[in-house]
Structure 1
Amino acid sequence: MKEILIDKNEHDQRLDRFLKKYLPNASLGFIYKMLRKKNIKLNGNKAQPEDVIKEGDAIQLYFSDETIDKFTLKPKEISKGKKLNIIYEDDNIVLINKPKGMLSHGTGKAHENNVVDSLISYLYEKKEYVPRLEKTFTPSICNRLDRNTSGLVIGAKNFTSLKLINEAIREGHIKKYYIALVKGKIDKEIELKGFLIKDEEENKVHITRKNIEGSKDINTMVKPMYTNGKYSLVEIDLITGRTHQIRVHLASIGHPVVGDLKYGDMEINKKFKNEFSLINQYLHAYKIIFNGLPEELSYLNNKELIAELDEQLANIDEKLFKNL
């Protein structure tokens, strides 16, 4: 028999979800069967899949060591990650200014540069993450950015922070703002609405006016910052956060993001590549305002954090808008 003591990084989740993370190689069918047969108990009693585990609870697994070894994952080796540009950190979260070209999550390939692995490495070196003391939790991020979009990514150091921030993002309490350079003149605020549908084969999304099967509603607020008539720098308030939402929404109204190879204007992209060596979209997640966070994270409410543009994007701004 093996007993698992629940601590703060495992508490307040359904028992079946915890068990699936603790025994990832076991099927849910096997886990439910073991619960029915009382081979898995909670605090010595018969348990149900939907029971919510709390800090201090004990789960008993009446399995052989061989069975447990078969269903658990071997600890992943932690390699030294890329140094992160951290703009804010406390006991619960890390705010990272992700450079363009860096993945948010890994794809499983060896020696891959991504935010999650670098965050794990950073906290491991600080001794704030000790894998042998954790049952299922590893530090993770609460929002993701496309590889070629730079800006703010929220890293969670513990399960409670990950859960509360994800809930606040889903409920729209945490506001995320972007800066984009777009084709053409935008001199007034625009609210864009529609429905987005993904083409898996092309790895592109398309906007429809009607809510068709498989589509998701999108809402984007666009606010002008500067314009010289040919190009405009705009602030984006992302009301909904869908794949490629900003890029396809702006392209749909004739104002594609400069440098966007998927939805953009190829002639403009070529011009900016030649003049500024820009090979990615000019899109930067520059500001986050926290709100709606309860309990342990309430100290973050009303906090506003800003990530500066990188040198290349700042140089483009200087050349285009310096006389405005």
Structure 2
Amino acid sequence: MKEFTIAKNDAGQRLDRWLAKTLPLLPAPLAQKYIRLKRVKVNGKGSKRDVRLQVGDVLQLYINDEFFDRPTPENAFLSLYQPKLNILYEDEHILLLDKRPGLVVHPDETERVNTLLTHIQAYLYQKKEWSPYKENSFAPALCNRIDRNTGGIVIAAKTAEALRVMNQKIKDRELSKFYLCAVLGRMDPREGKLEGFIWKDEVKKQVYVRSRPQPGAKTAITLYKTLAVQNGLSLVECDLITGRTHQIRAQFAAAGHPLLGDGKYGSERENRKYGRHGQALYSYRLEFRFTTDAGPLEHLNSRSFQVEDVDFLKEYFPDFHLSQAQPER
């Protein structure tokens, strides 16, 4: 419990507005709940949210200590009252989430609060499964990442052991990730392999595909299969053999078939024609194919998970149903 005495500069304010100013990390809906539960007392008694505070009023706040901290990137999750997560699977070790396009996965210079990781932290904190205020507490972490404007499955580790095992499995390529994308034109052949070398320009945050090795360039291999062709677009399934930055977007653009809606590697004229903003790319299916012991994650071996819907299918491929997509085995 913390106690405050109202001074002249704070007098005249509504109780709920004083709380919002004094405890900026406390979400407004939670503040209202605490007032209703009488965990916020004015002069020793419960009060209403719209009561006007007077000089000398004594406020007693029965609220967790962490809400009295100053806002920082590390405690941004506290300000989220209803985390927005589409959970495909959860156990005591991991979460599999369907990230929607437009959501950034990690806090960055443009967004601190509304990120996938922050929503995960808020979710686990509110479930009392994680708290950064415990000594030596492990922080939930993402095992893979997806571009802001790409949707699809993201793996989050809830324990340090799960993070270690999953990161090793990804490194050893014991997971298969399948993507769906809409590309301009028809792929010829309809099924095949895109292979080359990707070099990243760190300044421009853009990658370039080369046909031959060069210093700093990394091998990039994508297997693809055309699933449908409609209205000048091809729906293509991709199996990433390597996982380079912007690999699918850059390789299909280099092959003459840029992704619909891709503002960096695609065609602005075609994007306007189809009315698409943001690349039509979705990591829609994940398969666990462990060949070595996975410890606490062994129960996931041979299992697969698929999202329920892909945002661009209904608009551009209305006759195609997600159940028709069958990844190579």
Give the corresponding residue for 2:141: 140
Post-superposition offset of 1:83:
0.9
Give the corresponding residue for 1:305: 305
Post-superposition offset of 1:104:
1.0
- Structure 1: give runs of 5+ residues left out of the alignment: 1-72
Give the corresponding residue for 1:200: 202
Give the corresponding residue for 1:116: 117
Determine if contact 2:223/2:240 at 8 Å carries over to the other structure: yes
Give the corresponding residue for 2:104: 103
Post-superposition offset of 1:135:
1.1
- The one-character-per-residue Cα deviations of 1:186-207 (angstroms, maximum 9, x if unpaired) are 2521111111101122221001
Distance 1:200 1:130 in 2: 35
Post-superposition offset of 1:112:
3.3
Distance 2:109 2:234 in 1: 38
* Structure 2 SS opposite 1:318: coil
In the superposition, the TM-score normalised over structure 1's length comes to 0.71
Post-superposition offset of 1:109:
5.2
Determine if contact 2:179/2:238 at 8 Å carries over to the other structure: yes
Taking the TM superposition and a 5 Å limit, the aligned residue runs for 1:1-80 are 76=75, 78-80=78-80
Question: 1:75 and 1:183, CA in 2 relative to 1: closer, same or farther beyond 3 A?
Answer: closer
Instruction: State which of 272, 280, 303 in structure 1 corresponds to 2:278.
Output: 280
Give the 4+ runs in structure 1 shifted more than 3 A: 73-77, 108-112, 310-313
Post-superposition offset of 1:185:
1.0
User: Which residue identity is paired with 1:197?
Assistant: W
- The one-character-per-residue Cα deviations of 1:198-228 (angstroms, maximum 9, x if unpaired) are 1122221001122211111111111111113
Give the corresponding residue for 1:265: 267
Distance 2:244 2:127 in 1: 34
* Structure 2 SS opposite 1:195: strand
- The one-character-per-residue Cα deviations of 1:283-323 (angstroms, maximum 9, x if unpaired) are 000000012251211100011000133455423221799xx
* Structure 1 SS opposite 2:104: coil
Distance 2:124 2:266 in 1: 38
- Structure 2: give runs of 5+ residues left out of the alignment: 1-71, 325-329
The question of 1:224 aligning with 2:226 is answered yes
In the superposition, the TM-score normalised over structure 2's length comes to 0.70
Determine if contact 1:178/1:286 at 8 Å carries over to the other structure: yes
User: Which residue identity is paired with 1:294?
Assistant: A
User: Which residue identity is paired with 2:308?
Assistant: E
Distance 2:101 2:278 in 1: 8
Give the corresponding residue for 1:172: 173
Distance 1:121 1:82 in 2: 6
Determine if contact 2:131/2:137 at 8 Å carries over to the other structure: no
* Structure 2 SS opposite 1:131: coil
- The one-character-per-residue Cα deviations of 1:120-168 (angstroms, maximum 9, x if unpaired) are 1100011111222241520011000000000100111001111111111
Distance 1:112 1:75 in 2: 10
Give identity over the alignment, percent. Answer: 37
Distance 1:134 1:184 in 2: 56
Rg: which structure is higher?
2
Distance 1:75 1:98 in 2: 21
Distance 1:167 1:202 in 2: 30
The question of 1:190 aligning with 2:192 is answered yes
User: Which residue identity is paired with 1:146?
Assistant: D
CA RMSD of aligned residues (A): 2.3
- The one-character-per-residue Cα deviations of 1:50-106 (angstroms, maximum 9, x if unpaired) are xxxxxxxxxxxxxxxxxxxxxxx9973533164111111111111110010000111
Question: 1:297 and 1:319, CA in 2 relative to 1: closer, same or farther beyond 3 A?
Answer: closer
* Structure 2 SS opposite 1:243: coil
